[in-house]
Amino acid sequence: MWLRAGVIVFALIGSVVHANAPAISLRPVARIDIYPVALPTFAPAVSLRPVIRPRSVHRAKQPRIDRVFKSKAQSANNIGRICRDRDLQGVVVGRVPAKLRGCGIDNAVKLFSVSGVRLSMPVVMECGTAKSLKTWVEGGLAKAVGGTGGGVSKLQVAAGYACRTRNSRPGAKISEHGKGRAIDISAIYLENGDRISVLNDWGRGKNGRMLKKMHQSACGPFGTVLGPESDRHHKDHFHFDVARHRSGPYCR
């Protein structure tokens, strides 16, 4: 009897266990390793292993970059007083060798501004030319413009140092430009942005009258002054140089 009862109990327990059994077997199942299949999907296109780079490539590039920035910094830092005059701002150039016989400058400077008036581009010249330009800027130019447009802000430079003959004619004498003793100016800019052009304004209205005064006042500070009425080569600019003549300043 007791044996029969035990069989009945065991059967009931088995039924309960079977009823609560999970739908999925808890036995460990050997899984298929999918890493080799997924690896190409996530692997980088370029190897991540460190690559030893040739030293020659690294050393060849860096010095060139350093030289570029160093040269720019030196040029910017060197701009200051030249020709022993704080109103002349620029850099010292030194000797400029001659490409043609009669050209060249022994002690050249590169002028950026004169008495607060900027040049449209730096001009290489002698100190004597720079000082004559300052005399004209502070005197005749300032008086000719007065307070018009707030005064002068910039000079449009047509030419500075250039090793060539006069008017670039074959066989002619070396131009004063080739000696650092001349500058050509084609226009004057005012503080309000207005532009007075030698080509467009000469002989016309108020601007024309101011240009006439500028031209006349340059005779004295400069030994030679040429403008639109001198010849066809100067119809669009003023030519100023410090060459001296026995009969006095040559102005046309």
pLDDT, mean of residues 188-214: 98
Q: Of 184, 80, 181, whose CA–CA distance to 132 is shortest?
A: 181
pLDDT at 239: 97
pLDDT, mean of residues 183-209: 98
**CA gap 236, 201 in Å, rounded:** 10
pLDDT at 36 over 50: no
What percent of the chain clears pLDDT 90, i.e. is strictly above it? 60
pLDDT at 49: 53
Please, which pLDDT band fits residue 100 given cuts at 50, 70 and 90?
A: confident
pLDDT at 74 over 50: no
pLDDT, mean of residues 196-219: 97
Give the Å distances, CA to CA, from 108 to 101, 183, 244: 17, 14, 20
pLDDT at 62: 34
Q: Of 225, 157, 234, 153, whose CA–CA distance to 199 is shortest?
A: 234
pLDDT at 205: 96
**What are the tens digits of pLDDT across the range 104-145?**
999 999 999 999 999 999 999 999 999 999 999 999 999 999
pLDDT at 53 over 70: no
SS3 per residue for the chain: CHHHHHHHHHHHHHHHHHHCCCCCCCCCCCCCCCHHHHHHHHCCCCCCCCCCCCHHHHHHHHHHHHHHHHHHHHHHHHCEEECCEEEEEEEEEEEECCCCCCCCEEEEEEEEEECCEEEEEEEEECHHHHHHHHHHHHHHHHHHHCCHHHCEEEEEEEECCCCCEHHHCCCCCECHHHHCCEEEEEEEEECCCCEEEHHHHCCCHHHHHHHHHHHHHCECCECEEECCCCCHHHCCCEEEECCCCCCCCEEC
Q: Classify residue 174 by burial, with Cβ atoms within 10 Å: 0-12, 13-18, 19+.
A: middle
pTM summary value:
0.69
pLDDT at 189 over 60: yes
Kindly report which listed range (142-146, 168-172, 234-238) carries the lowest average pLDDT score. Answer: 168-172
**What are the tens digits of pLDDT across the range 14-35?**
444 444 444 444 444 444 444 4
**What are the tens digits of pLDDT across the range 56-70?**
333 333 333 233 223
Sorted by sequence, the CB contacts under 8 Å of residue 194 that are 6+ apart come out as 149
Give the chain's radius of gyration (CA, Å). 43
CB 108, CB 82: distance < 8 Å: no
Please, which pLDDT band fits residue 202 given cuts at 50, 70 and 90?
A: very high
**CA gap 130, 110 in Å, rounded:** 9
